[in-house]
């Protein structure tokens, strides 16, 4: 039987593990804030009916279920001098920040216009 243990030379350095963990922590923090506070924000701050707010979050999850595998396929097929995923991560950094800010902003809209926003 073949042993699958890593040799000392193949082990991942602690600094690399910490760097990956730090980057994942930042990503997880953003999504955790959305998961915990966004529904409350929609109902209590934006004044959207709970059933509609739940529908908005449901639609977002369905959208993720479609786009996440599609983006995975696209990034797997990407060939660039920066790697497969780095161009997308760098390209989305600033737009992600702007969209995250807009997500918790209430524009001076009412009714259907607010729900569409």
Domain residue extents for the chain: 12-116
Residue 5 pLDDT > 80: no
Packing angle between helix 14-40 and helix 50-77, nearest 10 degrees? 150
Which pLDDT does position 2 carry in this prediction? 53
Residue 87 pLDDT > 60: yes
Q: Within a 10 A sphere around the Cβ of 34, how many other Cβ atoms?
A: 16
CA atoms within 13 A on the CB side of 64: 7
C-alpha–C-alpha distance, residues 41 and 8, integer Å: 50
pLDDT tens digit sequence for 22-61? 888 877 887 888 888 889 999 999 999 999 999 998 998 8
Find all residues with CB under 8 Å of 41, minimum gap 6, and list them: 104
**pTM of the predicted model as reported, rounded to 2 decimal places:** 0.63
* Mean per-residue pLDDT, 97-108: 89
And the tokens for 63? 């959208």
C-alpha–C-alpha distance, residues 65 and 56, integer Å: 14
C-alpha–C-alpha distance, residues 81 and 15, integer Å: 24
């Amino acid at each position: 039987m073949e042993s699958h243990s890593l040799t000392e030379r193949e082990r991942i350095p602690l600094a690399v593990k910490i760097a990956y963990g730090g980057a994942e922590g930042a990503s997880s923090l953003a999504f955790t804030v959305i998961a915990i506070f966004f529904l409350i924000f929609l109902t209590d701050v934006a004044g959207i009916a709970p059933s509609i707010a739940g529908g908005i979050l449901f639609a977002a999850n369905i959208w993720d279920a479609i786009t996440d595998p599609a983006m995975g396929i696209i990034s797997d097929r990407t060939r660039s001098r920066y790697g497969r995923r780095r161009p997308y991560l760098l390209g989305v950094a600033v737009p992600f920040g702007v969209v995250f800010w807009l997500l918790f902003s209430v524009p001076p809209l009412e009714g259907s216009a607010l729900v569409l926003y």
